[in-house]
Amino acid sequence: MARSNSFHKKEIEKSKQQKKKEKLQRREERKKQGPSSFEDMIAYVDANGVIVDEPPIPIRKDEIAIEDIEVSIPRKEKPEEVGEPTGRVDFYDESRGFGFIKEKNSVNKYFFHKSNAEPGIQEDHMVTFRLERGLKGMNAVDVKIIR
């Protein structure tokens, strides 16, 4: 058993020596070729993003006047509503004391507690409300019945 193990070690050592010789030969061949020129190393990118050897042909560029560049956001034509938001009571559970209001002209729904609403509120009532940040998002407070 000791014999085969030492034979195996010798084979490994031979292959390592062979690889070192091959590596040295490759290095010497590169040295003989000499350094490559700088022009050989340059690559260009054309208008389509493809890497090419020749420099791209310059194309005419449009001049843009500085006055034509808009940096700010243009003002809206219609001013936003300033009053209290309105909506419809989408869900209300009197026994549990809470409900949800679906905002008019939006898909947003807001939670409200019966302590923040007028007495007698029911589902499908149109209401006005004010928004306050709660623990789990925006909550409707000061909920008042319109009709």
| DSSP string covering 112-132 | EEGGGB-TT--TT-EEEEEEE
Cβ contact 80:124 at 8 Å: no
The one-character DSSP state at 68 is: G
Report DSSP letters for 61-112, one per residue: -----GGG---SPPPPSSPPP-S--EEEEEEEETTTTEEEEEETTS--EEEE
- The pLDDT of residue 147 is 75
Using pLDDT thresholds of 50, 70 and 90, give the confidence band for residue 24.
Answer: very high
Using pLDDT thresholds of 50, 70 and 90, give the confidence band for residue 35.
Answer: low
Q: What's the CA gap between 84 and 42, in Å, rounded?
A: 65
Closest to 115 (Cα-Cα) out of 135, 91, 138, 97: 97
What token pair was written down for 70? Answer: 């808009």
* 66: pLDDT strictly greater than 80: yes
Using pLDDT thresholds of 50, 70 and 90, give the confidence band for residue 12.
Answer: very high
The answer to whether domain 86-145 has CATH 2.40.50.140 is: yes
